[in-house]
Amino acid sequence: MRLSRPSAPAIVLALLCAMYFMYFVDRASLSTAAPLIKADLKISNTELGLAFSAFAIPYALFQLIGGWIGDKLGPRLTLAICCAIVSISTMLTGAVTGIGSLFALRLALGFGEGAGFPTATRAMASWTPQGSWGFAQGIVHSFARIGNAVTPLVVAGLLSFSTWRGSFAILGAMSLLWLVAWVWYFRDDPREHPSMTTAVLETLPVRAAGAARKIPWLRLARHVLPVTMVDFCYGWTLWLFLTWIPAFFFENYHQNLGASALFSGGVLLAGVIGDTVGGVWSDRLLRKTGSLTIARRSVIVTGFLGAFVFLIPVVLIHNLTVAAVCLALAFFFAELIVGPIWSVPMDIAPRYAGTASGMMNFGFGVAGLISPSSFGYLVDRTGSWVAPFIASICLLLLGAVLALRLRPDRPFVEDPEAVVVH
């Protein structure tokens, strides 16, 4: 029995999955190595939290600028530049000498990754059928969470034969392989790809292929603002998981680095399942009901409420097993949000998918400016991990309420004079 060759859109989606995986490994590696880095550089949790937050400063800014750049220059060139910055900054992290250089390189990493996800969304808007947008967003973010889940184990493995400095050099060098594959295979316009067939091309959204000459920033921002606010509430809790969970098991439950990596990997692995389930569930609801509002909003609200419920025992009960299980369940529900929420900018503004998704993810970036540093400060100030979790619980409930106001069924009406007709 002959196996059919994967279509060009499937290969492009696989490349984007690899990018999301790589980006999150490079980003989360600092969290796993944090106890060693903190001891070697002699820095506090507050300073470490500032280093975590440094990433989010340019990351938040480039959600806006990077999405626009991706719409203007195209995903092929934009993502190649982004990957080069991510690779170099990751390698150089192994050479830091103090909090200053660590802060600077986390800034550089934020610049590289900031434009990546909005631009990837722009690529998906051209290369994925609209009925599969939820799945596409869910699966690429699943690979991001796989990156989160395996990073503690990967870094722990690298540390078994190398120093923490050497592990960053290895991870950064591996990222360069993706850059070569992306530039070689991807084309901004699916019609220009040598492997594209007419049958496959007919399934792709024609309206997303056109280029925007002028972006109506203010009108588009007002249209996207509700989803930006929801994304902030989601992002606050995600940053908690991405930056502090390994240290939580290490310090609050006195686990060694290997055990902390295993517990953290288990928690983050639950997010992989949540990402995939959320995207598939949203697409199925869309096919069944024909309603974008039901398909996106109901999954997002369920995710917020489920995460809210399962974070409460983490605060009330000091037990390693309870914490590990409830954190995993909370992360599963939180990640149900990802596929549908990233589909909303594609639903309402497919021609400006890069810019619109960047505007949405600006909320996530702002949360990243505040959440990691606030978490570290509160742990140092109170000597307890309870207060930061309470903040996340409150924002999860707020996110559920705000999500009820989302209207993905109301498309952004663009100015006909601002569009080039192809």
Does residue 125 form part of some domain? yes
Q: Can you tell me the distance from the alpha carbon of 316 to that of 312, in angstroms, rounded to the nearest whole number?
A: 6
Q: Are 361 and 118 in contact (CB under 8 A)?
A: yes
Number of domains in the chain: 1
Among 371, 359, 394, 63, which Cα is nearest to 227's?
A: 359
Rounded Cα distance, 244 and 389, in Å = 11
- What the block records as the tokens of 202 is 């007919």
The yes-or-no verdict on residue 383 having pLDDT over 80 is: no
CATH number of the CATH domain containing 165: 1.20.1250.20
pLDDT of residue 320: 79
Q: What is the mean pLDDT of the chain?
A: 82
Please tell me the pTM assigned to this model. Answer: 0.73
Reported confidence tier of residue 421, pLDDT bands at 50, 70, 90: very low
Read off the pLDDT of each residue in 358-364 and give the average, rounded to a whole number. 85
Radius of gyration of the chain (CA): 21
Can you tell me the mean pLDDT for 1-18?
A: 80
Residue 121 lies in a domain: yes
Closest CA to 151 of 14, 11, 20: 20
Spatial distance between the Cα atoms of 78 and 71, rounded to a whole number of angstroms:
9
Q: Which of 163, 147, 153 is nearest to 32 (CA)?
A: 153
| CB neighbour list of residue 33: distance below 8 Å, 6 or more residues apart | 155, 159, 164, 167, 168
Per residue in 23-51, pLDDT (tens digit) is 988 887 887 787 788 878 887 777 877 78
pLDDT category, 206, cuts 50, 70, 90?
low
On whether residue 212 sits in a domain, the answer given is no
Residue 206 domain flag: no
The per-residue pLDDT for 234 is 93
For range 76-87, the mean pLDDT: 92
Q: pLDDT (tens digit, 9 = 90+) per residue, 310-360?
A: 989 988 877 877 888 888 899 999 999 988 998 888 888 877 777 888 888
In a domain, 210, yes or no: no
* Choice between 242 and 359, residue whose per-residue pLDDT is larger: 359
Whether 213 is covered by a domain: the verdict is: no
In a domain, 198, yes or no: no
pLDDT at 267: 83
208 lies in some domain: no
Domain with 308, as residue range(s), is 8-191+218-411
pLDDT value at residue 254:
62
* Alpha carbon distance 36, 38 (integer Å): 5
Winning range, highest mean pLDDT, from 53-57, 249-253, 357-361: 357-361
pLDDT at 15: 94
Q: 295, 289 in Cβ contact below 8 A? A: yes
Residue 111, classified by CB atoms within 10 Å of its CB into exposed (0-12), middle (13-18) or buried (19+), is buried
